[in-house]
Amino acid sequence: MAELQHSQIKQKLQEQVVPNLDATDLQDGPAKADHLLSRAIAAVCVRIVADADITAAGQAVVDGSNDNGIDAIYYDPATATLILVQSKWNNSHGGSIDSAGVLKFVQGARDLISQKKERFNEKVQDRWATIEDALGRVNSVV
């Protein structure tokens, strides 16, 4: 049953979420589909947690080389909440994130909160004004 559900989730991500993602930095090949599915999971997390529409959730994805373990960043000014997401698609229905991925995400979150902009890729840096605004608010939650 789990394998069937895994396949159904994959299909829905490919149909409903992947078209809203930037894939211009990905090279064609067998790994591209898995990268896009990881990005789709990050977008769905933003959609669920922030109640964002799928277009905004897709635009929140910053996954790529030098992302410092952060795959999506979304700021909701109405709730003063900065959402950080780390995601990984696994072709095995029983897979999970490894400790190295968790540690990289934690370090990335620390670097972001410490405003170490140079440690992040262009996608994150393009959102830096929003990140600074979020971190500068007294009532912000990360």
Buried b (16+ CB within 10 A) or exposed e, 31-50: eeeebbbbbbbbbbbbbeeb
Which residue is listed with tokens 């009532």?
139
Q: pTM to 2 decimals?
A: 0.92
Tokens for 35, please give them: 């990268």
Q: Which of 2-16, 21-35, 53-67, 83-97 has the lowest mean pLDDT?
A: 83-97
| Per-residue pLDDT tens digits for 43-73 | 999 999 999 999 999 999 999 999 999 999 9
- CA 2/CA 47 separation, integer angstroms: 24
Alpha carbon separation from 137 to 26, 98, 118 (Å, rounded): 35, 33, 22
